């Protein structure tokens, strides 16, 4: 035992470590589907992001004169690193993952005081900053059916092999939006989903199963009572209700709710990002409000905005509203009446 550290801090860090380990375990079904269907390059990105996160964490802890072993072992930096790697394109250059991860750890986390003090989700700060700063690189996703070995994908990430345009393409969400915009009234959603190779059974080809893996892991976290149902259900309901309303109104121009729930970062956002206990709401009612509004905003951005997906921006916008939501969703104190 480290006798220089207060006992309560040791207990707190031990609890955080157990939670973070289970979050990483919950991500494994999605990661396994990712490796099987998309390619093993994501393993390289997870490793790069993890190393960058631990290095950035160690640097900031040293500058702040905090015990390195205690804080590095709590697992929070690794969870942030994994969320960044899973949000970025799997064949993105190594330096892009490093830049995003260091931005999340150094700026979005430690400059606000470290774990428990950051008002914004660090992984989503990294994604938003990088997609604005490097839009071309953040849009280079592997085409469906691309078969490259782990060595080949590692060489592309490291910059040893040149990037070929035929290896990358738009995400299913971006492909749908672009096709509808270019085709105007001559193209409809059902035709696109049935004819383009980027789409699968009910969402993006292969990506629908990755989203299913995140759903499975998220339900396991809920079963373990590490998260509550409020934020995930609110997010899914907000996204599905708006998608369903527009789809019912004009199914030729708007995809059905199932497509939106299993495309992009919807499931990852619902169970692993909107449930962040630090940057999210604290009350059950507040979590539900947070989730519903985040889902509505995410759909609005991905369909009508300029970005292929809106989960990151929706979560960050709702992070700004957390103090207000918490203030008005606090239950009354027992024995006291609300003032008129």
Q: What is the C-alpha to C-alpha distance for residues 317 and 234, in angstroms, rounded to an integer?
A: 16
* Tokens describing residue 289: 């409000």
pTM (two decimals): 0.89
Give domain limits for the chain.
1-169, 174-329
Helix axes 41-63, 94-102, angle to 10 degrees: 40
HSE (side-chain half, CA atoms, 13 Å) at 147: 1
Answer whether residue 8 shows pLDDT above 50.
Answer: no
Q: What is the pLDDT of residues 212-253, one digit of tens each?
A: 999 999 999 999 999 999 999 999 999 999 999 999 998 888
Q: What is the C-alpha to C-alpha distance for residues 270 and 26, in angstroms, rounded to an integer?
A: 13
CA angle 83, 85, 323 (to 5 degrees): 30
Q: What is the pLDDT of residues 88-117, one digit of tens each?
A: 998 899 999 999 999 999 999 999 988 888
Q: What is the pLDDT of residues 171-199, one digit of tens each?
A: 777 777 776 666 544 567 776 666 676 77
Residues 34-47, mean pLDDT to the nearest whole number: 90
- Asked which of 4-8, 58-62, 161-165 is least confident by mean pLDDT, the reply is 4-8
């Amino acid at each position: 035992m480290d006798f220089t550290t207060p006992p309560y801090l040791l207990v707190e860090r031990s609890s955080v470590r157990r939670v973070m380990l289970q979050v990483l375990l919950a991500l494994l079904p999605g990661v396994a589907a990712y490796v099987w269907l998309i390619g093993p390059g994501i393993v390289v990105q997870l490793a790069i992001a993890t190393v960058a996160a631990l290095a950035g964490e160690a640097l900031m802890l040293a500058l702040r004169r905090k015990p390195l072993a205690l804080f590095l072992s709590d697992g929070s930096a690794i969870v942030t690193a994994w969320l960044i790697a899973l949000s970025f394109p799997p064949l993105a250059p190594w330096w892009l993952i490093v830049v995003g991860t260091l931005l999340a750890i150094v700026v979005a986390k430690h400059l606000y005081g470290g774990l428990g003090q950051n008002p914004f989700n660090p992984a989503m700060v990294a994604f938003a900053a990088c997609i604005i700063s490097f839009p071309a690189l953040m849009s280079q996703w592997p085409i469906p059916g691309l078969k490259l070995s782990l060595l080949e994908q590692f060489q592309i990430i490291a910059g040893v092999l040149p990037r070929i345009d035929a290896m990358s393409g738009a995400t299913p969400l971006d492909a749908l939006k672009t096709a509808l915009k270019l085709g105007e009234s001559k193209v409809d959603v059902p035709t696109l989903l049935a004819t383009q190779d980027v789409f699968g059974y009910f969402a993006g080809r292969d990506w629908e199963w990755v989203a299913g893996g995140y759903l499975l892991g998220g339900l396991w976290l809920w079963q373990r009572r590490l998260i509550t149902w409020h934020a995930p259900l609110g997010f899914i309901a907000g996204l599905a209700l708006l998608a369903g309303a527009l789809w019912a109104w004009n199914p030729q121009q708007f995809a059905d709710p199932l497509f939106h729930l299993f495309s992009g970062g919807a499931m990852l956002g619902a169970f692993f990002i909107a449930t962040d206990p630090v940057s999210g709401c604290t009350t059950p009612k507040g979590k539900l409000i947070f989730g519903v509004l985040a889902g509505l905003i995410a759909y609005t951005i991905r369909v009508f905005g300029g970005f292929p997906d809106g989960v990151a921006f929706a979560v960050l916008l709702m992070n700004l509203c957390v103090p207000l939501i918490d203030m008005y969703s606090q239950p009354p104190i027992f024995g006291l009446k609300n003032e008129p």
